[in-house]
Structure 1
Amino acid sequence: MTDCCLIYALYSDLGIKTDKKRKVLEMTVEKKIIEKQYFSDIEAILSHKQDNGADYWATPDKNLIKGSPFSTLESVLYLLDLGLNPDDPVLKACAELIFSVWREDGRLKLTPKSAIYPCHTTHAASILCRMGYSSDERVKKTLQHLLDTQYHDGGWRCNKFSFGRGPETEYSNPHPTLNALDAFRYSNDFGKEPALDQAVDFLLSHWTIRKPIGPCHYGIGKLFMQVEYPFRSYNLFFYVYVLSFYERARKDSRFLDAFHALESRMSDGQIVVQRINRKLSGLTFCRQGEPSALATLRYQEILKNVEPNTL
């Protein structure tokens, strides 16, 4: 049986409707030529590798989040989405660089001249898990650290109040919480922790609250509802994608509302990128206003997660 037939059979077993199965089959065929199609994107990203003063998109003092949208962590994310193997020498070197700022307590110091914030650790944990390091003992220690420092509302937050203090800042920060859940979904050791249900509940509650919350004021408004890809920020697509991996979310009407809101922004079964950093506008895999084959593959992952249970 060919790879395409295997994929078709898999989605038949999951109960996905005929038209959606056809889209899956078409996208599977397209994926076979995706590496050649996006060679120019990989080359463009690699061309920025020393923009920040050191190699692998870092600064000489190992700031791994400076230079957006071509920071170390962001560039690794793009290359993974474009199909670069985590064993590729560039990504292996990036993993070593990220681990070089790992601390014994599980945190990661992504900025050398500032405090270590939970948003830094959750972001790095998400990237490392996407790279295949969820079973690494250092990542396990990081995930345990996150469980040990979870806020009482189920999320993660820092104690930096750039917008001042108010009732809204008593909440966790939604984006770091989403990144944490993105990391935990890869873990065989921690992925089923009951505490993660609380994190899911917190994010689902934000769908109802909608107003900016947390010390960093993350809201669900016009920008959130615009489909962004790659997953750089707190937005509808990333929100639905990560939560679709959690059964507690899949059973909840608020998740289904968000899922249908995402589908309403699609065109002919494909994800259309509505928002992108202007410095990424030259990349073909995420052109604003156009369907994205790679983003649509992420949507098909969502379908695989939710169709057998809810739709």
Structure 2
Amino acid sequence: MLAHPVVQNLILQAENWPNQPLKRHNDASHPLHVLGVLADFGLKKSDPGISDLVEKITAHSSPQGLLQTLLHVSPRYGGSAEPQWSWMLCDLPLILHALMAFGLNNHPLIQTNLNHLLSLVRDNGWPCACDSAWQGFRGPGRKDDPCPYATLISLRAFSLLPETHTWPEVQAGVDMLLNHWQMRKEKKYYLFGIGSDFGKLKYPLIWYDLLHILTVLSRFENARRDPRLQEMAALLASQKDPNGCFTPTSVWMAWKGWDFAQKKEPSPWLTLLSHRALSAIAHS
């Protein structure tokens, strides 16, 4: 796999970190999301190119030790005219998850960032949050509302640490996502509702959708036994063909050419991810 040209190209893309400022968090072409794919593919810090990538990522952290990326926020949203190194809760957990998946759990920055995530969580999950340097910035939602996306990707990081799964802070995030599903017909937080697009099968796991939630929550034993997650699993299972395979129903065009970025035939990778989540839930 490591020798395959398309995987080599992904590593090269990621090694250019960050090579462009992040202007919107669902920019599928950004190296932030390439990191997630490399982590999903199982690459480790000992693999060629990953150690150099890790050095570039960990070279940028706030005075508090929080992982940063190059962000560009419009002045009308509290940003500045120029990109700057900073963090938001819709990018930091993704970087943290990738580093942990690469095998860097013992890196000094990891515990600092995990502790910070725990300090931000509320009774209803993770809110919209960012570096204090962004004066006046807040996402397009009510101040007391949780952010479903920030909650999902924060849980994605904690999903790699089974010892944390029963912690009250982590459970609050799990409950928020399950409650959102339960109230999906009447509740929308920030940009994130649960409608027809939510159930479309799409990879990479970039935004707030069915496969992303099932991939993350199927790692939590308490969530696997919850009827609400089993309802989500049933929605996923309903999309398999007679051969048990899954075909993408939505695509990120930045990934054109991959088996999961077309809607004409089953995707082996999407099928694997779907069955992995469904199997974990079925055998809980």
Normalising to structure 2: TM-score of the pair?
Answer: 0.80
The count of aligned residue pairs is 264
Alpha carbons of structure 1 residues 146 and 83: separation in structure 2 relative to 1, 3 Å: closer
Identity of aligned residues (%): 23
Segment of structure 1 superposing worse, 202-211 or 39-48: 39-48
The match for 2:209 is 235
Q: 1:217 aligns with which of 191, 196, 213?
A: 191
Partners of 1:81 and 1:41 in 2: CA distance = 15
The match for 1:13 is none
Q: 2:273 aligns with which of 298, 308, 311?
A: 298
Determine helix, strand or coil for the equivalent of 2:273.
helix
Which structure 2 residues correspond to residues 79-158 of structure 1 after superposition, within 5 A?
79-111=38-70, 113=83, 116-158=87-129
More helix as a share of residues: 1
The match for 1:41 is 6
The match for 1:77 is 36
Partners of 1:298 and 1:286 in 2: CA distance = 14
2:218 equivalent to 1:244: yes
- Kindly provide the amino acid, as one letter, of the partner of residue 257 in structure 2: G
2:165 equivalent to 1:194: no
Q: For each residue in 1:289-308, what CA deviation from the matched residue of structure 2 results, as whole angstroms up to 9, or x when unmatched?
A: 43222222222322442223
Partners of 1:141 and 1:64 in 2: CA distance = 26
Deviation at 1:77, TM superposition (A): 2.2
Partners of 2:104 and 2:37 in 1: CA distance = 17
Alpha carbons of structure 1 residues 135 and 291: separation in structure 2 relative to 1, 3 Å: farther
Partners of 1:222 and 1:305 in 2: CA distance = 25
**Structure 1 stretches of 5 or more lacking a match?**
1-34, 50-54
Alpha carbons of structure 1 residues 64 and 40: separation in structure 2 relative to 1, 3 Å: farther
Q: For each residue in 1:138-197, what CA deviation from the matched residue of structure 2 results, as whole angstroms up to 9, or x when unmatched?
A: 11111111111112312232374453x55xx53111111111111112125534422211
Alpha carbons of structure 1 residues 148 and 83: separation in structure 2 relative to 1, 3 Å: closer
Q: CA RMSD of the aligned region, Å?
A: 2.9
- Kindly provide the amino acid, as one letter, of the partner of residue 42 in structure 1: V
- Kindly provide the amino acid, as one letter, of the partner of residue 271 in structure 1: F
Partners of 1:42 and 1:194 in 2: CA distance = 38
Normalising to structure 1: TM-score of the pair?
Answer: 0.74
The match for 2:253 is 278
The match for 2:150 is 176
